[in-house]
Amino acid sequence: MTRAALTERTVTVAGKDIFFAETGEGPAVLLLHGGGPGASGVSNYSRNIGELARKFRVIVPDLPGYGRSSKGVDRSDPFGYLADNIRGLLDRLNLGRAHLVGNSYGGACALRLALDTPERVEKMVLMGPGGIGTTRALPTPGLQSLLSYYTGDGPSRDKLESFIRKYLVFDGATVPAEVIDERYRSSIDPAVVADPPLRRPSGPGALRTLWGMDFTRDRRLRRLATPTLVIWGADDKVNRPSGGRMLAHTMPNCDLLLAATTGHWVQWERADFFNAVTTAFLTGSTR
């Protein structure tokens, strides 16, 4: 894997800090990470940044609530809050448009940003994005494991290892112990434990929030013409692969790739494949 020298910065968006790293030159590509415990931008895309930086200006933020960005997320509209903050980051960087690449939670952020302001997005690559058909079936065992991390007896390395090895990837034995150690340390940041960024909606407005977090309920999806590549692990145990078909059947300009023997972490599990198809899609013609 190509390693790239990263420049790190923090900017303020609507009074909140957004940390990001960047490298490379060319069209801007934002890499938006997933929402699992201890996730962060650079760690989630460690196998992709250097290769993508050969062709692009690669910008890798920590989403609100994660890593070195400010903690706390708007519980009434989590995906909208993420999208607003990333759009604010684009504004701070004087980027009128950019490519968005998003895994899981980050995929939901990218999709919401494109729905709200399609003029800001050149192309999208979505890997097992969140918010696809989530009100049409019970949560998967993997998603239940993720959402229960901070509940019950609280976070532990054993709980995180179980989630990563059993649900996040197809072959749990391939994940080095140091990856789990790093994520566990991040997951027990007191500010995160006090206000976990990814939780089941609760309270009087929970149903409205859940409905709003399912993009298949959003009428705008059928009109979203942003060129989009969806890559879904065929053995994804967190977000059902059937979500890929939902997007391909609904969005007017959406290609779908199903990755064999791959779980929820396509960009890490199948890094060479991911880097090649993402580069080809973002640099190629849409027709």
Q: Which residues are catalytic?
A: 264
Nearest Cα residue to 14 out of 83, 62, 84:
84
Nearest Cα residue to 250 out of 282, 281, 217:
217
User: Which tokens in the block code for residue 229?
Assistant: 């590549």
Strands 98-103 and 254-259, by their bridges, are unpaired
User: Which tokens in the block code for residue 34?
Assistant: 């997933």
Nearest Cα residue to 104 out of 68, 75, 132:
132
Cβ neighbors of 190 (< 8 A, separation 6 or more) are none
Nearest Cα residue to 160 out of 124, 184, 132, 190:
184
